[in-house]
Structures are given as C-alpha cells and as structure tokens.
Structure 1
Amino acid sequence: MGRLGRNRLVRTLGPFVPVVVLWWIVAEMEVFPPAFFVGPDAVIDEFSEMIRKGILPAYLSDSMTRLWTGVVFGLLIGIPAGFIVAMSFWARRLTWPLLLFFQAIADIAWLPIVIVWFGFSLTAVTFVIVYTIVFPLMISIVAGVEQVPRDVVRAARSLGAGRFRVFTDVIVPGALPAVATGIRTGLGYGWRALIAAEIIIGTSGIGFMMFDARRAGEVTPVFVGMIVLGVLWFALDALVLAPFERSTVERWGMVRTAEVAR
C-alpha cells in the first residue's frame, strides 16, 4: 500500500476512481432518466465517434487557437504593465483603484457589450480572455515586487548598481515567483473565460459544442466536453504551469528557505 501511495500515476488517477464508479452506479440504477444522465460507457462511445468524425479535434483546435491568442496578448500587456505599476509610485497611486475595480467585474459581464463592439468574432473572445488574464497577473506582480527585501535592493545600490541594474538583477528575479503564480492563476481564469465566451458568443469550440448539444437535447456531448476540458487543464497545469511555478520558486530560494526553517 505504501509503494502504491508513492506511485505518481496512482496518486494522480486514484482520486478519480471512486468518482467514476459512483457515476457508473448512478447511471446503471437510473436514478435520473437516461435522457438526462448517461454513464461512462455512453460518454466513451460518443467521444470515440466524435474523434472518428473529426468533430472534436476541429472544435478543440478552434478553442486552443483562441486561448493561446488571448494568452499571448494578455502576457504581453499584463507583465510590462504590472512592473510599471509596481515600480512607479504615481502609476501605482493612479491605477491601483482601477485595478481593483476591474478585477471585481466578472469577464462574463463584458460579453453583451463585447458583442456590440466586435460581433461574434475571434476578437470578441480574445478581448474577454485578455481582460481576464491581465488584472490578476498585474496584481500578482505588484505583490511580488513588494516582497523583494529592501535590504537586497540597498545592497545592490551600495555596490554601484544603477536603477536599471537593480531592476534587472534584483527586482525582476525576486518577483519571478509571483509572476509565475500570476501566470498560472491568469491562465486558469482565461480558460474558464474562453468556455463562457464560446457558450454565449462562439460559433465553434468546445464551449459552443456543449451549448449546441444542450439546445439539441443531447447530454452526452456535454459530458464529453466537460471531461475534455478537465483533462486538458489538468494536463496543462501538471505538465507546464505547476513545474514552471515550482522551478521558479526553487530557483530563487523560497523552498530551500522554508525547508531550513523547519
């Protein structure tokens, strides 16, 4: 049992086993009508059929294109803007209330006016994703810069480092763990914003597929969509985002410091 508990595959998939078993039992007992609740076997069959017909790959490709377009623009805007706000007293003073204000407005609240501005287009979905990513990323960067020890900054200046060298050699490395966390959080928000936008204004994509199946009274594609979304995000987070955040934190000593303290 101890060896199984240390197996990474078992630790990852183990928690899902009772969920799938319970799902199968509920479906077999027909607690809910089969038209409203299907079992794992029906979902697997539907998944295979959608792969065979090329429907799922096409929708998934559209969703990934929209996501990465929004992510790229979100990072290009959010990272420089976050450091500007963090490093400038006046920029912080003038923009901080705006950051908190817009951070509190859900991305889905923008969809009605975005439709008026851009119609049912890639630009509309990209706008929503960028909006969702930028503000939590900027706030994380500001928090990261504030956590850089002032003694380190003063030491660099006493050794002759100018403002630019202090920024590139002290501030940026010290804030990188917060940047990594902000990117991870922002992408999570952006992922959900993508699906919400596709459901409401999309003409293709996983979100559109799920909503279109609902309108047709078919629940199986909805189950397929939800599972695909969960698996994709889990894989992205486990294989890319979490290692990136962990390696960034370890690189700048946060984890080692905590271990020494224990």
Structure 2
Amino acid sequence: MGENRVVRTFGPFVPVILLWWIIAELEVFPSAFFVGPGTVFEKFDELIAKGILPAYLGDSLERLFYGVLFGMLIGVPAGFIVAMSAWARKLTWPLLMFFQAIADIAWLPIVIVWFGFSLTAVTFVIVYTIVFPLMISIVSGVEQVPRDVVRAARSLGAGRLQVFTEVILPGALPAVATGIRTGLGYGWRALIAAEIIVGTSGVGFLMFDSRRAQEVTGVFVGMIVLGVLWFALDALVLAPFERRTIERWGMIRTAEAGR
C-alpha cells in the first residue's frame, strides 16, 4: 500500500526528469539557457554548502508566515461578518469582486512607494492576496448551511451566538479549510512575485539575482525548490487539514444528502 502511494506520488516526475535530461544532453538549447538535472543538483549542493539557500528559504517562509497570519486574522472574521450581515453583504460585495479581480502584482508599484523594499511591502501583497479568496469561500460556506437547520435550532431556543457556534460555524468550516488552502496557494505565488520585484533575499530574489547574473542554473534551482516545498506543504499539511475538516465538520451536508 505504501509503495503504491509512493509510485503514484513520484511516478509522474520520472518521465519529466528523463525528458529534461534528454533535452539537455542533446543540446537542443544552448547550455547558457538550458541545463540538465546534474548541473542543477550540483548548484543546489553548492548553495546549501554556502548557506545561501537555507538563509533565503528561511526568509521566504518567514514572510509567508506573517502574510498568512495577518491574512487569516483579517479574512476569517471579515468573511463571517459579510456572510452573516445582509447590510454588510450589500455594502462590501461589489468591493470584494472589484479587488479580487486586481492581481497582487498590480499593487507592487504603489506598495514600493508606500513601504519601500521592506518586509512590510511583501507582507502587504501576501495579505491582500489571501484575504479576498478566503472571505468569498467563507460566504459561500455559510450560504451552504441549510436554512432548515438554522430555523430548527432557533425553534429549540438557541440564541444567535449559539446558532453561530453550533450550527453555522461547523457547517462553514469545510469552506473555511478550502479557502485557507486556496489562499495559501495564491499567497505563495504572490510571495515569489514580490520577492522578484521588491525583495533583497528569498527564493524569488535568488531566481531574479541569478537571471541578472545570467546564471540560469540558479533559476532552475529556485523553481525546483518552490515546486517541491509547495508540494510537500500541500500534501503533508493543507490537504490533510482540509480533508479532516470536511470529514469532521461536513456532517450537515452528509445528513442532508442522506434524507
């Protein structure tokens, strides 16, 4: 069972790496623009030995942590306020749609003017990217809670707070988990874009600095680190969190489907 899971997880990468190696060996592209896996892995070891890659990766993860933390602190309560209040929904929904449509990278020029090349600038972009998808997911989750269940709880004497904590919140938690997972994905891409443009360290800056030095190997290293790190984060943390949340708190939809 464990071997099958390993094959399913890593098997698709084998032909990709093989194709990558063949293209490099045949020199389809000049070596200044395209290098093979062996060269990239040597560069990877070199950057680790010099301490550059661990330091840059630590900086990226720190920025992501602060961006996600503040994004959730803003997005979760704001999402429930919009979902639970009719007037808040009417007032803010057009704004949500408007700002959701503006890409995070579009904010970078004005953010640089406001905050300079700083951690605050990068954090602002990540928070902006996370907040709106999270709020929209929460609103969608609250809307999916059956109104009959809410009315039944109220008819049994439950107050507004009790209805929220015992009916609406559990019913919306699967959507919250999905929103967090989606928001983190957006935030991760926003982090790299911000580091490329305004960063002075981090994996995105490593890629940009390598490009500036015409060292394509460093760009390949950065791309692989980004992919592997996100794959591990999603597979080991986010996907299990979303799955367990749905299994634990998705009982409203399950009960409704069994009628």
TM-score range normalised by the length of the shorter chain: over 0.9
Matched, 1:28 2:25: yes
Matched, 1:146 2:140: no
State the distance in 2 between where 1:194 and 1:252 align. Answer: 31
1:168-183 equivalences in 2 (<5 Å)? 168-183=165-180
Q: What secondary structure, in the 3-state scheme, does the structure 2 residue paired with 1:203 have?
A: coil
1:14-25 equivalences in 2 (<5 Å)? 14-25=11-22
Structure 2 gaps of 5+ residues are none
1:64-83 equivalences in 2 (<5 Å)? 64-83=61-80
Matched, 1:96 2:66: no
1:115 is aligned, of 87, 91, 112, to: 112
CA contact (8 A) 2:145 2:252 kept: no
State the distance in 2 between where 1:54 and 1:109 align. Answer: 33
Superposition TM-score, scaled by structure 1 size: 0.95
State the distance in 2 between where 1:12 and 1:130 align. Answer: 31
**In structure 1, what residue type is equivalent to 2:137?**
S
Question: 1:86 Cα deviation (Å)?
Answer: 0.2
CA contact (8 A) 2:75 2:135 kept: yes
Question: 1:7 Cα deviation (Å)?
Answer: 1.0
State the distance in 2 between where 1:256 and 1:39 align. Answer: 49
State the distance in 2 between where 1:137 and 1:43 align. Answer: 36
Q: Write out per-residue CA displacement over residues 55-85 of structure 1, whole angstroms, 9 at most, x where no aligned residue.
A: 0000000000100000000000000000000
Question: 1:256 Cα deviation (Å)?
Answer: 8.9
Q: Write out per-residue CA displacement over residues 22-45 of structure 1, whole angstroms, 9 at most, x where no aligned residue.
A: 000000000000111000000110
State the distance in 2 between where 1:159 and 1:50 align. Answer: 64
**In structure 1, what residue type is equivalent to 2:130?**
I
Which runs of structure 1 show a deviation greater than 4 angstroms over 4 or more consecutive aligned residues? none
Question: 1:254 Cα deviation (Å)?
Answer: 5.9
CA contact (8 A) 2:177 2:241 kept: yes
**In structure 2, what residue type is equivalent to 1:244?**
F
Q: Write out per-residue CA displacement over residues 196-244 of structure 1, whole angstroms, 9 at most, x where no aligned residue.
A: 0000000000000000000000000100000000000000000000000
Q: Write out per-residue CA displacement over residues 66-119 of structure 1, whole angstroms, 9 at most, x where no aligned residue.
A: 000000000000000000000000000000000000000000000000000000
State the distance in 2 between where 1:81 and 1:15 align. Answer: 40
Question: 1:255 Cα deviation (Å)?
Answer: 11
CA contact (8 A) 1:250 1:256 kept: no
Matched, 1:50 2:47: yes
Q: What secondary structure, in the 3-state scheme, does the structure 1 residue paired with 2:166 have?
A: helix
1:62 is aligned, of 59, 63, 87, to: 59
State the distance in 1 between where 2:206 and 2:13 align. Answer: 25
1:122-137 equivalences in 2 (<5 Å)? 122-137=119-134
Superposition TM-score, scaled by structure 2 size: 0.96
Query: Structure 1 pair 255/173, CA: closer, same or farther in 2 (3 Å)?
Result: closer
State the distance in 1 between where 2:161 and 2:136 align. Answer: 22
Q: RMSD in angstroms over aligned alpha carbons? A: 1.6
State the distance in 2 between where 1:254 and 1:13 align. Answer: 33
CA contact (8 A) 2:178 2:242 kept: yes
CA contact (8 A) 2:174 2:250 kept: no
Question: 1:251 Cα deviation (Å)?
Answer: 1.1
Structure 1 gaps of 5+ residues are none
Equivalent pairs counted in the alignment come to: 257
CA contact (8 A) 2:171 2:252 kept: no
**In structure 2, what residue type is equivalent to 1:136?**
P
2:9 is aligned, of 4, 12, 17, to: 12
CA contact (8 A) 2:206 2:218 kept: yes
Q: What secondary structure, in the 3-state scheme, does the structure 2 residue paired with 1:7 have?
A: helix
1:248 is aligned, of 245, 250, 254, to: 245
